[in-house]
Amino acid sequence: MKIKKNKNILYYVGGVILILLIVFFFISKNDNGYNDETSIKTITIAGHISKSHQIIIDKFNESHVGEIEVKSVNLSFEKFSTDEQKELFARFLRSESDKIDIFLVDQIWIPRFAKWSEPLEKYFSYSERQNFIQAALEACTDEKHLVAIPLFIDIAVMYYREDLLKRYSNYQLIEKKLNSSISWEDFIELGLELNKYNKPFYTFQGKAYEGLMCSFIELMASQEMTLYKNEKIQLNTIEARKALQLLVDLVNKYKLSSERVLEFEENQSYDYFIKNDGFFLRGWPNLGWHFMPDSLEAIKISNIRKTLPPHFMGKRKMSILGGWNLMVSRFSNNKPEAIEFLKYWSEEESQKIMYEVSGLLPTNKNIYENSNYTKKHPELSFYKEIIPKGFHRPFLKNYTKISVIITKYANMAIAKKISVQEALKMAEEKINSDLLMIR
């Protein structure tokens, strides 16, 4: 009883802190959206505001002097986790306040936030929507309504140190397999061969968080098995067991991944991979932007190549998609101005800024068709080829809660605290017995 009481107190305190943060961040905005001293229309955007985000905001303000001013509320990832940001937005939007006009969301949040978002199909013509990469636009709809605009797209990739592989393995044969996505069976065989060199072979994100969920779902999808079917989560399956067993075996049976992956999110895994001269790393397209230019790490990165993640032999070659989107609050009093800003952010110039400054992949497909631009940035041709092979996580209103449960037990299985079968059974029972109304 005491433990339960302490948890309740923590939840209460956490709720109070979140409410205070909401007041702190948003109360300063004028209720009518106008600057008191002028007729300038002021709109507020909230979320993680990177350097490239701020550049675009500043450029928009410069081009709309005397008309519209965009003010940003930076909920940086250094101070707010994605879950904390999601909870902040949910609590704020429930109040139906008009003090926030645009908010940045992880694409998997779309079903949860759709009811608070302004439908956008009437503002973006068919031809304007055709300018977006289809895979990115798919993550912006809910019940056939366009409720968001894609900000940037992500796709999981596997990085590898070309210089190290050339030194230690039959590289020409390995390169051929890597270029077409190597099978897990061949990948493990290569790892057992290279393990004698005492370098990390495969680094992935094994902490109980969304990164681990992405690996797990991807391994299931490679076997053509979905996580969700007939309004229930499917974890008591051969495919789910094979997926989780592989992650367990990489650490415990084959010793191809360090036990430290149990602690890793993206940034920690990137640091470990580079510092220890690892062979392979699972990650996202932003590895090169994680380190300072001209640093020792950046020199090592110049020897890194990327490809699709491995697949089970004879099965599909799959890579999971991610990314962030822009939504306009249904309660905003500044919808025309907010839409104008969204359109500005969707233009090629703005999308190029995000890519060149922060390494965020464009969602405007015209950039990938611009041969002069792709010659300067050849990796865009690589992403143009693999993005259509990507797939989305299930768009469920309670996806985040489901992910928290699955990754908790998956992490315990990798740590050998429970068996694979126990982990999946416990996770499935917990999800399907909780009052989670999954669409």
Is there a shared CATH topology between the 2-153+323-388 domain and the 157-320+397-433 domain? yes
CATH topology of domain 2-153+323-388: D-Maltodextrin-Binding Protein; domain 2 (3.40.190)
**Per-residue pLDDT in tens (0 to 9) along the chain, 439 residues:** 444 444 444 444 444 454 445 545 544 444 445 555 568 999 999 999 999 999 999 999 999 999 999 999 999 888 888 888 998 999 999 999 899 999 999 999 999 999 999 999 999 999 999 999 999 999 999 988 999 999 999 999 999 999 999 998 899 999 999 998 999 999 999 999 999 999 999 999 999 999 999 999 999 999 999 988 877 888 999 999 999 999 999 999 999 999 999 999 998 999 999 999 999 999 999 887 777 677 777 778 889 999 999 999 999 999 999 999 999 999 999 999 999 999 999 999 999 999 999 999 999 999 999 999 999 999 999 999 999 989 999 999 889 999 999 999 999 999 999 999 999 999 999 998 765 444 4
Domain 157-320+397-433 CATH (choose: 2.60.200.20, 3.40.190.10, 1.10.150.650, 3.30.390.50): 3.40.190.10
pTM for the model stands at 0.88
Domain extents for the chain? 2-153+323-388, 157-320+397-433
Task: Convert the chain into a string of H (helix), E (strand) and C (coil).
Answer: CHHHHHHHHHHHHHHHHHHHHHHHHHCCCCCCCECCCCCCEEEEEEECCCHHHHHHHHHHHHHCCCCEEEEEEECCCCCCCHHHHHHHHHHHHHCCCCCCCEEEEEHHHHHHHHHHECCCCCCCCHHHHCCECHHHHHCCEECCEECCEEEEEEECEEEEEHHHHHHHCCHHHHHHHHHCCCEHHHHHHHHHHHHHHCCCCEECCCCCCHHHHHHHHHHHHHCCCCCEECCEECCCCHHHHHHHHHHHHHHHCCCCCCHHHHHCCHHHHHHHHHHCCCCEEEECCCHHHCCCCCCHHHHHHCCEEEECCCECCCCCCCEEEEEEEEEEECCCCCHHHHHHHHHHHHCHHHHHHHHHHHCCECCEHHHHHCHHHHHHCCHHHHHHHHHHHEECCCCCCCHHHHHHHHHHHHHHHHCCCCCHHHHHHHHHHHHHHCCCCCC
